[in-house]
């Protein structure tokens, strides 16, 4: 029997998953929200309708830059500087859409994988880039995929309502899929079978993985955003030139530097935050920082 795609799209799964990751554990927090609190920025809306601006005395909308390019919807304001929070440990995760197999593929029987099972596929160019970043950052970041261990829309709605998506998802690390093109799994957690060698790989659930990572990480690791952004840029720069994601990433960096230079005066910390946010956005990742509030 051929595999069946999940009844819901990737975006429908990732939105509630990321929300539960942020609010369902005391180890993960959103860099954007904490950064906002510490440097002082206010929310703003982008309105192009001249009729609205005329009520404020403008014939045309004021000139400026649309901040969606920066992956946040804020206007930076000058305020008293506060010390930044700790960015020593980071968590990057990408949600994937799964395919349902019932029965499991025959060639996987020897691995002990149960039937039915699920699968998601990796993008070779993206996998290569994320592996480079994981290697460069090493003990300062976890990079994972996330995929639902279910495929029905009713299950998505149910687990969203009960806030149990994390407990019903698979979280293999980027490095677990080194030289592999797909991940098969029959249950939530971190264990599964990697394709094409049909290799069973054991792993722990996300909560345990995060707790161990936090506990074992060295307190001597650098915590600055500048170090993080430089390591990410360096690792992407080491990709072969035929990787199509490499020029996209650096073009985004050039674009934001031009706009920042034209419209804003931002500190080095602001620029480093923007670079890391661009990395997450360009590679369809959600960025969390790891640490107890």
Q: Give yes or no for residue 221 having a pLDDT over 80.
A: no
Pairing of strands 41-43, 74-76: antiparallel
Q: Which of 100-109, 162-171, 263-272 has the lowest mean pLDDT?
A: 263-272
For residue range 94-103, list pLDDT tens digits in order.
Answer: 999 999 999 9
Q: What pLDDT score does 262 carry? A: 62
Contact 98, 120 (CB under 8 A): yes
Q: Where exactly are the structural domains of the chain?
A: 4-27+90-290
For residue 61, give the DSSP letter.
P
Q: Give yes or no for residue 186 having a pLDDT over 60.
A: yes
Q: Which of 1-15, 29-43, 93-107, 219-233 has the lowest mean pLDDT?
A: 29-43
CA dihedral angle for residue 147, residue 151, residue 154, residue 157, rounded to 10 degrees:
10
Between 62 and 273, whose confidence is greater?
Answer: 273
d(C-alpha 256, C-alpha 258), whole Å: 5
Q: What pLDDT score does 265 carry? A: 55
CA-to-CA separations, 90 to 51, 149, 240, in angstroms, rounded: 44, 25, 25
Q: What pLDDT score does 263 carry? A: 56
Cβ-Cβ contacts under 8 Å for 44 (sequence gap 6 or more): 67, 73, 74, 75
For residue range 173-185, list pLDDT tens digits in order.
Answer: 999 999 899 999 9
Q: What pLDDT score does 54 carry? A: 60
Helix (H, G, I), strand (E, B) or coil at 58: coil
Helix (H, G, I), strand (E, B) or coil at 131: helix
d(C-alpha 163, C-alpha 161), whole Å: 5
For every residue of 227-272, DSSP letters joined together read HHHHHHHHHHHTS-TT-THHHHHHHHHHHHHHHHHHH----HHHHH
């Amino acid at each position: 029997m051929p595999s069946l795609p999940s009844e819901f799209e990737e975006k429908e799964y990732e939105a509630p998953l990321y929300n539960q990751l942020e609010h369902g554990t005391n180890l993960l927090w959103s860099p954007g929200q904490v950064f906002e609190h510490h440097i002082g920025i206010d929310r703003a809306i982008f309105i192009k309708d001249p009729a609205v601006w005329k009520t404020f005395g403008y014939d045309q909308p004021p000139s400026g830059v649309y901040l969606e390019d920066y992956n946040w919807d804020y206007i930076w304001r000058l305020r008293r500087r506060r010390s930044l929070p700790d960015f020593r440990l980071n968590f990057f995760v990408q949600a994937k859409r799964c395919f349902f197999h019932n029965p499991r593929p025959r060639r996987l029987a020897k691995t002990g994988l149960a039937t039915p099972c699920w699968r998601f596929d990796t993008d070779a160019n993206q996998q290569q880039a994320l592996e480079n970043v994981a290697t460069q950052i090493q003990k300062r970041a976890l990079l994972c995929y996330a995929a639902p261990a279910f495929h029905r829309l009713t299950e998505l709605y149910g687990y969203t309502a009960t806030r149990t998506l994390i407990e019903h998802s698979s979280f293999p690390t980027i490095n677990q899929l080194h030289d592999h093109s797909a991940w098969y799994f029959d249950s939530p957690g971190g264990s599964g079978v990697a394709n094409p060698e049909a290799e069973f790989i054991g792993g722990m659930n996300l909560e345990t993985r995060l707790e161990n990572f936090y506990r074992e990480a060295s307190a001597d690791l650098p915590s600055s955003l500048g170090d993080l952004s430089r390591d990410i840029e360096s690792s992407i720069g080491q990709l072969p030139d035929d990787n199509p994601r490499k020029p996209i990433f650096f073009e985004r960096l050039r674009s934001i530097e031009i706009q920042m230079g034209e419209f804003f005066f931002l500190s080095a910390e602001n620029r480093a935050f923007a670079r890391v946010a661009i990395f997450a956005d360009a590679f369809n990742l959600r960025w969390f920082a790891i640490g107890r509030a």
